[in-house]
Structure 1
Amino acid sequence: MAPSALAGVARLQGRRPNILLAISDDQSWAHTGAAGCKTVNTPAFDRVAREGVLFANAFAAAPQCSPNRASLLTGRHIWQNEEAGTHASNFPRKFPVYTDLLEASGYVLGYTGKPWGPGNWEITGWPRNPAGPEFNKINMKEKIPQGIRKTDYAANFKAFLDSQPKDKPFCFWYGCKEPHREYEQGVGLRAGKKIEDVVVPPFLPDTPEIRSDILDYCFEIDWFDRHLVRMLRMLEEAGELDNTIVVVTSDNGMPFPRAKANLYEYGTHMPLAIRWPARVKAGRVIEDLTSFVDFAPTFLEAAGLTPPPTMTGRSFLDILASGKSGRVDPTRDKVFTGRERHTHARPDNLGYPARAIRTHDYLYILNLKPDRWPAGDPEGFFDIDGSPSKTYMLENRTSAEGKRLFALAVAKRPAEELYDIKADPGCVNNLAALAKYAAIQKKLRAELEQALTEQKDPRVLGYGDVFDSYPRYSAMRDYPGFKKQGEYNPKFQVKPPLPR
Structure 2
Amino acid sequence: MPKPNILLAIADDLAWPHLSAYGSKMVSTPAADRVACEGTLFTNCYTTAPSCTASRASLLTGRFPWRLEEGFQLWGLLPQKYVVYPDLLEAAGYFIGKTFKGWGPGSVEASGRTRNPAGPAFNRHTCTPLTSCMSTNDYTANFADFLSQKPASAPFCFWYGAKEPHRAYEAGSGVRHGKELSQAEVPAYLPDTPEVRSDLLDYALEIERFDRDLGAMLKILEERGELDNTIVIVTGDNGLPFPRAKANLYQNGCHVPLAIRWGTHIPPNRTITDFISFIDLAPTLLEAAGVDSSPLRSDGRSFLNILTSEASGRVDPTRSSVQTGRERHGYCRPHNLGNPMRSLVTDHFLYIHNFTPERPIHDCDLSPTRTLIESWQTNPYMEPYYDLCFGTRPAEELYLATDGPDCIRNVASDPTYAALLSSCREQLNTLLTIQEDPRILNGGSVFECAPYYGRVTKIDLPPLPSAVTNLPILPLNQEA
Give the TM-score range, shorter chain.
over 0.9
Structure 1 residue matching 2:21: 3-state secondary structure = coil
Identify which of 293, 312, 317 aligns with 2:299: 312
1:215 and 2:201 aligned: yes
Deviation for aligned residue 1:91: 1.0
1:12-161 matches, within 5 Å, as 13=1, 15-140=2-127, 142=128, 144-161=130-147
1:202 and 2:180 aligned: no
Deviation for aligned residue 1:424: 2.4
Measure, in 2, the Cα distance between the counterparts of 1:258 and 1:415: 17
Measure, in 2, the Cα distance between the counterparts of 1:155 and 1:258: 36
Distance verdict in 2 for CA 1:482–1:314, change over 3 Å = farther
Aligned match of 1:464: 444
The superposition leaves residues 239-283 of structure 1 with CA deviations (integer Å, 9 ceiling, x where unpaired) of 000000000000010000000000000000001100012311000
Do the aligned partners of 1:253 and 1:269 also contact (CA within 8 Å) in 2? yes
Deviation for aligned residue 1:398: 2.1
Structure 1 residue matching 2:403: 3-state secondary structure = coil
Do the aligned partners of 1:255 and 1:384 also contact (CA within 8 Å) in 2? yes
1:166 and 2:152 aligned: yes
Deviation for aligned residue 1:124: 2.5
Measure, in 2, the Cα distance between the counterparts of 1:236 and 1:399: 55
Measure, in 2, the Cα distance between the counterparts of 1:429 and 1:351: 25
* Paired residue type of 1:356: S
Structure 2 residue matching 1:58: 3-state secondary structure = strand
Structure 2 residue matching 1:56: 3-state secondary structure = strand
Aligned match of 2:212: 226
Deviation for aligned residue 1:493: 9.8
Distance verdict in 2 for CA 1:29–1:143, change over 3 Å = closer
Structure 2 residue matching 1:400: 3-state secondary structure = coil
Do the aligned partners of 1:52 and 1:276 also contact (CA within 8 Å) in 2? yes
* Paired residue type of 2:238: N
Measure, in 1, the Cα distance between the counterparts of 2:147 and 2:446: 43
1:324 and 2:311 aligned: yes
Structure 2: runs of 5 or more not aligned: 472-480
1:282-297 matches, within 5 Å, as 282-297=268-283
Structure 1: runs of 5 or more not aligned: 1-12, 377-382, 484-488, 495-500
Deviation for aligned residue 1:99: 0.6
Do the aligned partners of 1:469 and 1:490 also contact (CA within 8 Å) in 2? no
Distance verdict in 2 for CA 1:481–1:492, change over 3 Å = farther
The superposition leaves residues 307-347 of structure 1 with CA deviations (integer Å, 9 ceiling, x where unpaired) of 11611111111111111100010000000000000111111
* Paired residue type of 1:170: F
Deviation for aligned residue 1:421: 2.0
1:177 and 2:157 aligned: no
The superposition leaves residues 381-401 of structure 1 with CA deviations (integer Å, 9 ceiling, x where unpaired) of xx1111100011112222333
Deviation for aligned residue 1:481: 4.4
1:429-468 matches, within 5 Å, as 429-468=409-448
Distance verdict in 2 for CA 1:230–1:94, change over 3 Å = same
Measure, in 1, the Cα distance between the counterparts of 2:53 and 2:467: 23
Aligned match of 2:476: none
Identify which of 351, 355, 366 aligns with 2:338: 351
Measure, in 2, the Cα distance between the counterparts of 1:450 and 1:299: 29
Structure 1 residue matching 2:9: 3-state secondary structure = strand
* Paired residue type of 1:439: A
Deviation for aligned residue 1:490: 8.0
Deviation for aligned residue 1:230: 0.3
* Paired residue type of 2:262: W
Do the aligned partners of 2:51 and 2:238 also contact (CA within 8 Å) in 1? yes
Measure, in 1, the Cα distance between the counterparts of 2:141 and 2:110: 30
* Paired residue type of 1:360: D
1:259-298 matches, within 5 Å, as 259-298=245-284
Aligned match of 1:475: 455
Deviation for aligned residue 1:165: 0.8
Measure, in 2, the Cα distance between the counterparts of 1:43 and 1:216: 18
Structure 1 residue matching 2:26: 3-state secondary structure = coil
The superposition leaves residues 472-495 of structure 1 with CA deviations (integer Å, 9 ceiling, x where unpaired) of 100112124499xxxxx984499x
Structure 2 residue matching 1:336: 3-state secondary structure = strand
Measure, in 1, the Cα distance between the counterparts of 2:373 and 2:111: 40
Identify which of 403, 406, 420 aligns with 2:383: 403
* Paired residue type of 1:418: L
Structure 1 residue matching 2:253: 3-state secondary structure = helix
Do the aligned partners of 2:174 and 2:201 also contact (CA within 8 Å) in 1? yes
Do the aligned partners of 1:32 and 1:46 also contact (CA within 8 Å) in 2? yes
1:418 and 2:389 aligned: no
Measure, in 1, the Cα distance between the counterparts of 2:189 and 2:80: 40
* Paired residue type of 1:410: F
Distance verdict in 2 for CA 1:262–1:155, change over 3 Å = same
The superposition leaves residues 117-169 of structure 1 with CA deviations (integer Å, 9 ceiling, x where unpaired) of 100011232111000010001001x3531211100001100000111012111
Measure, in 1, the Cα distance between the counterparts of 2:413 and 2:462: 36
Structure 1 residue matching 2:263: 3-state secondary structure = coil
The superposition leaves residues 154-213 of structure 1 with CA deviations (integer Å, 9 ceiling, x where unpaired) of 110000011101211100000000000000011000110111111100000001010000
Identify which of 370, 390, 406 aligns with 2:370: 390
Deviation for aligned residue 1:30: 1.3
Q: Between the two proteins, what is the percent identity of the paired residues?
A: 51
The superposition leaves residues 1-45 of structure 1 with CA deviations (integer Å, 9 ceiling, x where unpaired) of xxxxxxxxxxxx2x0100000000011101110011111110111
Measure, in 1, the Cα distance between the counterparts of 2:80 and 2:283: 19
Deviation for aligned residue 1:305: 1.8
Measure, in 1, the Cα distance between the counterparts of 2:291 and 2:50: 29
Do the aligned partners of 1:53 and 1:284 also contact (CA within 8 Å) in 2? yes
Identify which of 206, 225, 230 aligns with 1:244: 230
* Paired residue type of 2:51: Q
Deviation for aligned residue 1:465: 2.6
Measure, in 2, the Cα distance between the counterparts of 1:143 and 1:102: 33
* Paired residue type of 2:433: T
Q: TM-score when scaled to structure 2?
A: 0.95
Measure, in 1, the Cα distance between the counterparts of 2:388 and 2:227: 45
Do the aligned partners of 1:348 and 1:480 also contact (CA within 8 Å) in 2? no
